[in-house]
Amino acid sequence: MALSDTQTGRAPEVTSGAPPVLRLRGVTKWFPGVQALRRVDFDLRPGEVHVLFGENGAGKSTLINIVAGALRPDAGEVELRGRPVQFRSVHDARQRGISAVFQEFSLVPGLTVEENLFLGAEPTTGALINKPEMRRRAEEALRRLGFPILPRMRVNRLSRAEQQMVEIAKAFRTNLSILILDEPTAALTDRETDRLFQLVLDSKRQGVGIIYITHRMNELHRIGDRVTVLRDGGRVDTLAVRDATPEKLVELMTGRKIEAFFPRIDHRPGEELFAVEHLTAGTLVHDVSLTVRAGEIVGLAGLVGSGKSEVGRACFGLEPIRGGTVRLLGRSVGKPTPGAMLGAGLAYVPPDRRTEGLVMERSVRENIALSALPSAHFSGRVLLRRRSERAICLRLAQQLRLVPTGIERPVALFSGGNQQKVVLAKGLTRNPRVFVMDEPTTGVDVAAKTEVYTFMKDLVEREGAGILLISSDLPEILHLAHRAYVMHRGRLRAELGRAELTEQAVLSHFFETTTTHG
């Protein structure tokens, strides 16, 4: 994800004084028992990217839902091009040039791309749908956006990233004056992200105002002009992006001052804890060797699809191993399985907590305890030791500052950041020495990210653990890892020591180049 600013160039300065295309004044919204927005002022100028920043639950979603016409404010005014408006529906807002791409897709899986693009606005001749016309216009729209998708494909056959593209194409379909993007890059590869950003820049030039929600610092700096920080439903501040340092933003978001976004982690490498030699696994990973020692964080970088994720999965027994060896705490592991690896002292943090990490409907306690039930702290010969279980889970929840601390609540009710803390707490129950963390901060707000980083620092410095950090977030690798490996097309491209670990060095190994490296 992390590409340097130099690649796309800095966003041009917004001509100040241009009248805002959208203005919110004192907008307030109640949900049963919760005030989701309290007297929020917000304005959007034509041709700017206005980033909304805030913890999960700060009110970002409510705000964009009001702008998109999905929710009506309980108090306050919405002005469109200087005139007060009240949107009756999403459709109404859309008619006035406001389009939104939400995180939850609004596509019909069984229909084709073109049918989805024109759903509710099909070109017709008489009573019949004008299919050739629809095909032509769909092709044109997709070509203009540069998305390699066939209009006649059924949506449920597309990858998540492709579905995201259709969703974006749908938003670009109408005459746009305001575009709302809610974490649009979450499912996209770097290349697709580049294309999306190019589109955003094009739209800016045409005077479209863009509201952009992201948790990613580098995206903020790459395409943002101004940023508004929300906290507990209220607007804290609006500032120019060039003044928005990570530390400043976290301070605004949380109301707490932090020393550094990325903590400094001491590097005192000890004995080798984990080693992979000539690993060939699944369909992608080929001849990969790496080591992790006690007291260090080892980065594993690479583009989406480079095989870095599969290395972690293979070591945990989730991808079939076709060659090579895995060694944990000096002992060679024949055929890894999740159960055996957990028992031998390795914890794996999966990249997608919803699909692989957590049982969403069950309580925090049951989730934390799930992988540790066979151990003596959690169960006797026949029965579970529920008192001990509760005590251990409560301690871990407090250690990771779960908010709220109620460990009997279903995980589904917690915010993304706190769900991630549950995943991490779960990893601690078996007292592992080695952690394989695959994208440990995806979909986590910036404040929770700093907590995850502090957690990693404590593991390495106090417990002498070794961490293999698999991440697509380049700053994470650059700031946290003591050493890093870079993968490309299933093979190791390079190993970089701390001194060589720069953005340029890592990026140069991401893409097709002819340089060979040790």
Contacting positions for another protein (CB under 8 A): 28, 30-35, 38, 56-57, 74-75, 232-233, 316, 318, 337-343, 348, 350, 355-362, 366, 369-371, 373-374, 379, 382-384, 386, 410, 412-416, 418, 426
Q: Which is nearer to another protein, 9 or 33 (CB)?
A: 33
Q: Nearer Cβ to another protein, position 135 or 409? A: 409
- Least Å distance, CB 449 to another protein, is 15
CB closer to another protein out of 32 and 120? 32
Short-list 48, 45, 44, 46, CA closest to 12: 48
Cβ at position 215, least distance to another protein in Å: 12
Report d(CA 78, CA 41) in Å as an integer: 10
Whole-number minimum distance, CB 473 to another protein, in Å?
20
- Is residue 3 within 8 Å of residue 507, measured between CB atoms? yes
Q: How many CB atoms lie within 10 A of CB 183?
A: 17
Grouping H, G, I as helix, E, B as strand and the rest as coil, residue 407 is coil
Closest distance to another protein from the beta carbon of 114 (Å): 32
In the structure encoding, which two tokens stand for residue 498, read together? Answer: 């701390």
Question: Would you say 299 or 317 has its CB closer to another protein?
Answer: 317
DSSP one-letter code for 9: -
Q: What is the DSSP string of 194-213?
A: HHHHHHHHHHHHTT-EEEEE
**Smallest separation (angstroms) from another protein to the CB of 356:** 5
Please report how close the Cβ of residue 382 comes to another protein at its closest, in angstroms. 7
Residues 414, 417, 421, 423: is their CA dihedral positive or negative? positive
Q: Between residues 289 and 415, which has the closer beta carbon with respect to another protein?
A: 415
The overall longest dimension of the chain from CA atoms, in Å, is 77
Question: Minimum CB separation from another protein for residue 35, in Å?
Answer: 4
**Nearest approach, Cβ of residue 103 and another protein (Å):** 11
- Please say which residue, 75 or 108, places its beta carbon nearer to another protein: 75
Residue 298 bridge partners (DSSP): 468, 483
DSSP run (H or E) holding 168: helix 160-171
Whether 246 contacts 447, CB under 8 Å? no
The three-class DSSP label of residue 264 is coil
Give yes or no for a contact between 296 and 269, defined as CB atoms under 8 angstroms apart.
Answer: yes
Q: How far is the CB of 36 from another protein (least distance, A)?
A: 8
Q: Which is nearer to another protein, 31 or 511 (CB)?
A: 31
DSSP alpha helices (H): ranges in 297-415?
A: 308-315, 338-344, 364-369, 386-399
Please answer whether residues 372 and 400 qualify as being in contact, where contact means their C-beta atoms are separated by less than 8 angstroms. Answer: no
E-strand stretches of 315-442: 321-328, 331-333, 346-349, 434-438
Q: Which CB, 42 or 414, lies closer to another protein?
A: 414
Instruction: Indicate the residue among 52 and 149 with the shorter CB distance to another protein.
Output: 52
Are the C-beta atoms of 336 and 264 separated by less than 8 Å? no
